[in-house]
Structure 1
Amino acid sequence: TSSHKGRIDQVRQVFNILWRADLDPTILQCPIPEGKRSPLEYNCSGKHAGMLAVCQQRRWPLNNYLDRKHPIQQLILGKVAELLRMPAEEFISAHDDCGAPTYLMQLGHMASLYALLASSTNLDMERIVRAMTHHPALVAGDGEFDTELMRLTPGELVSKAGAEGVQCIGRLGEGMGLAIKVMDGAKRAKHAVAIHLLQQMGWISPSAAQSLSEKFVTLGKYKRLEVIGELSFL
């Protein structure tokens, strides 16, 4: 459930997943980050380790676990389809930067999934939420938005960043989810939008909003709030 930074404590937890499943880290098929030595240090390594652990448990093939037709990928797709109450064959698929299959979703889909994740009505998802909220430093890392938001709202919010300017947040116990997508794919705007919406919805206190703003919205010395152009789509 993380996009971690490859710190030793984070890598150790990924290794622990593999060790408990009697798997060697060399079996990971996610990339080795530039300047690093092991795929364990890649930000998605926990997700890959989880997939491999399930494959080991169910005696499914290990060498092609990223193939879209592999049983583990079909299991994931089936679960997402079940949660969204959509036919699995309607999902448009692509590949994430880590090589794993991923799926095109509308903002409403993502918000709905985070509402379900945080609803406390499903034991499996409740275990995931508790792991994330009890160990926020493993979800992203010190100084990262997801980690700092969950630290400021212990047991109230679950938060996870996504690539291309995506941010998803769920409010625990209320069945409510929030999904944000910055159109140009950059993350520079999503933190400001997230903080504003969270405060509007009453999900964070003014003091928490101030603390987050100081870390993630404050303009640097060479940044100015001046419009010098615009993006358009043809």
Structure 2
Amino acid sequence: MSNGEGGMADGAFVELARVWRGPVVESCHRGVVAVADATGTIRQAWGDPGLVTTPRSSLKPFQAVALVESGAADAFALGEAHIAMACASHHAQPFQVAIVQEWLARLGLEESNLVCGPDLPRGREDLLAAARAGGPRRVFHNCSGKHCGFLTVARHLRADLGYADPAHPAQRLYLDILSDLIGRDAASLLRGTDGCGLPALALSVGEMAVAAARFGAVAVAGGARQAAMRRVLQAMRDHPDHLSGRDEPTARLVRGTGGRVLLKTGAEGFLLAMVPDQGLGVAVKLADGAGRAKFGVLARALALAGALPAAEAEALLPQLEPAILDSNGGAVGAIEILLGG
């Protein structure tokens, strides 16, 4: 059953993973998984694919299409690294921060033009360095690349820089692209506000799987839009470290599959994957909003959908969901993926 416009219904979820500490199950993660193809067919589902939620940052690649399709990326001579950063939920590693700073300079803008608020890097050494250098900054925000993308479109369209407004031309272009992929008017979707200050749209898990399948298959009309989508896909394939951080699960999965699988994380337990060669999309939502276990669930779903050989997916699991460690680095627990088990 779908949750519609209300809260999440317990019956929508199935158990997807368990967390073991020694011989004891310490926690479990329930959720929804949907696999779809570019025709709009839900091929497989665990839990209710009609569950409506906010995919959050999993929508960034869709937003990045507007950056390319509008001509803004070429107008400012942006490369694939910039486009990948527009898709990123980055960890504010030095190379990522440098791209954002250079991008703002290219636009003739300042950090203050970013709607996203000040933040700190995620890595311990980077965080300590940032604290010594003065503390939180807007360029450290994980969404700052996406915001640079919106600023670039606004500049190119000679629009004002208030790109957080749902009626802004840059937002309207993004909604047009998303509408094309979900097959209905995205402007009518329920909408909240994301942590970075931009609109957070609500879609069903199944709709997101379909949108991902169509994105990967470039199943849209119009040469300019098709070319833009291919360029975004290639940027994600060629720059997986930019999407989160060096040697993070996102990069491990993209590299481990030779770029056959492209993915984008979202907050609160959301994860979206595209399998371009097969025209498949996979959406994962963990009910408790956890970040752990969702990559392992995705790998198993890819195997069950036939998108990856089972042996290959299982070999990736330890890289995506490593052992749970104590403060001395000793293994004290493990994440068991139940999907398909």
Do the structures match in fold with TM over 0.5? yes
Name the CA distance, whole Å, in 2 between partners of 1:212 and 1:107.
23
Q: TM-score, normalised by structure 2?
A: 0.61
Shift of 1:5: 0.2
Query: Is the 8 Å Cα contact of residues 175 and 187 (structure 2) preserved in structure 1?
Result: no
Structure 1, unpaired ranges of 5+: 227-234
Greater displacement, 98-107 / 213-222: 213-222
Q: Which residue of 1 aligns with 2:321?
A: 216
Name the CA distance, whole Å, in 1 between partners of 2:301 and 2:164.
36
Q: Are 1:161 and 2:247 matched, yes or no?
A: no
Q: TM-score, normalised by structure 1?
A: 0.87
Greater displacement, 206-215 / 166-175: 206-215
Shift of 1:208: 5.4
Partner SS, residue 118 of structure 1 = helix
Q: Deviations over 1:172-211 (max 9, x none)?
A: 2322100000011112231221121122234345245324
Instruction: Give the 4+ runs in structure 1 shifted more than 6 A.
Output: none
For 1:47, the aligned partner's letter is K
For 1:57, the aligned partner's letter is H
- Among all aligned residue pairs of Structure 1 and Structure 2, give the percentage whose two residues are the same amino acid: 32
Of the candidates 221, 227, 245, which is equivalent to residue 141 of structure 1?
A: 245
Of the candidates 167, 182, 189, which is equivalent to residue 91 of structure 1?
A: 189
Partner SS, residue 203 of structure 2 = coil
Q: Which residue of 2 aligns with 1:190?
A: 294
Distance verdict in 2 for CA 1:88–1:198, change over 3 Å: closer
Structure with a larger share of its residues in strand: 2
Name the CA distance, whole Å, in 1 between partners of 2:187 and 2:302.
34
Of the candidates 100, 110, 124, which is equivalent to residue 14 of structure 1?
A: 100
Of the candidates 155, 158, 161, which is equivalent to residue 59 of structure 1?
A: 158
Q: What is the number of equivalent residue pairs in this alignment?
A: 225
Greater RCO, CA 8 A, separation 6+:
2
Shift of 1:217: 4.4
Name the CA distance, whole Å, in 2 between partners of 1:66 and 1:116.
26
Shift of 1:225: 7.8
Distance verdict in 2 for CA 1:182–1:78, change over 3 Å: same
For 1:82, the aligned partner's letter is D
For 1:16, the aligned partner's letter is E
Partner SS, residue 173 of structure 1 = helix
Greater displacement, 207-216 / 141-150: 207-216
Name the CA distance, whole Å, in 2 between partners of 1:95 and 1:214.
33
Q: Deviations over 1:204-228 (max 9, x none)?
A: 45245324324414344444789xx
Distance verdict in 2 for CA 1:132–1:142, change over 3 Å: same
